[in-house]
Amino acid sequence: MNCSNCEKVLTDQMEVEYSQWINEFFCSPDCATNRYFNYMESTPLDFDNTLPEGVIVVNGLLDRAAELPDAPAAAVAGSMIGNKDEDDRDVESE
């Protein structure tokens, strides 16, 4: 039997991990962690360029745009990453 991440042959001398969720075996906790991150398509957020659709930053905190109460567009835009004014122009942070 081989590790589902790196393909090493599994032995009883390894710290073998088993995932009940995906029914796979791994040669080490690190290999399991790598596989889980790949499986979940987990990546660091790029706060300077692209956030997932529907996610904004309000006063330094991540929030879902759909969960925001109705507010004037300029108030929301001024608190989003990139600090845009109501005409969608970049403005400097305060």
Mean pLDDT of the region 16-42? 95
**pLDDT tens, position by position, 32-78:** 999 999 999 998 888 888 888 888 888 889 888 865 555 544 444 44
- Locate all alpha helices (DSSP H) within the chain, ordered by sequence: 29-39, 73-78
CB 25 within 8 A of CB 16: yes
Give the model's pLDDT for residue 21: 92
With a CB cutoff of 8 Å and minimum separation 6, the contacts of 82 are 90
Mean pLDDT of the region 8-37? 96
Q: State how far the Cα of 62 lies from the Cα of 54, in Å rounded to an integer.
A: 10
CB 29 within 8 A of CB 17: yes
**pLDDT tens, position by position, 71-91:** 544 444 444 445 445 555 554
Give the model's pLDDT for residue 36: 94
